């Protein structure tokens, strides 16, 4: 018989994570947590749009200087 999991001494985190995955494959009835995910995605979209508008100059904030001639981050 082949051992399915590595021994606890070699991979201790595997046994801690197995408890989190105990309900894998089960489906909750109805919509479940879909509304929460939708709200979080909309908030992420709004955050990304605000960041884009700040960088584009559509929104001017005091103390935020977007200087394209001398960028802080340069590609190597």
Q: In the chain, what's the furthest Cα-to-Cα distance?
A: 68
> What is the Cα–Cα distance from 5 to 50, expressed in whole angstroms?
47
> What is the Cα–Cα distance from 23 to 21, expressed in whole angstroms?
6
* Residue 41 confidence (pLDDT): 98
pTM recorded for the entire structure: 0.52
Residue-wise pLDDT tens digits, 9-21: 667 777 778 777 7
* Residue 56 confidence (pLDDT): 79
> What is the Cα–Cα distance from 21 to 70, expressed in whole angstroms?
48
Residue-wise pLDDT tens digits, 31-76: 888 999 999 999 999 999 998 887 777 777 777 676 667 656 555 4
Look-up of token digits 């990304």: 48
* Residue 13 confidence (pLDDT): 79
């Amino acid at each position: 018989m082949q051992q399915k999991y590595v021994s606890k001494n070699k991979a201790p985190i595997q046994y801690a994570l197995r408890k989190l995955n105990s309900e894998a494959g089960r489906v909750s009835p109805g919509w479940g947590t879909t509304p929460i995910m939708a709200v979080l995605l909309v908030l992420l979209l709004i955050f990304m749009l605000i960041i884009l508008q700040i960088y584009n100059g559509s929104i001017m904030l005091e103390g935020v200087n977007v200087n394209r001639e001398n960028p802080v981050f340069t590609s190597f």
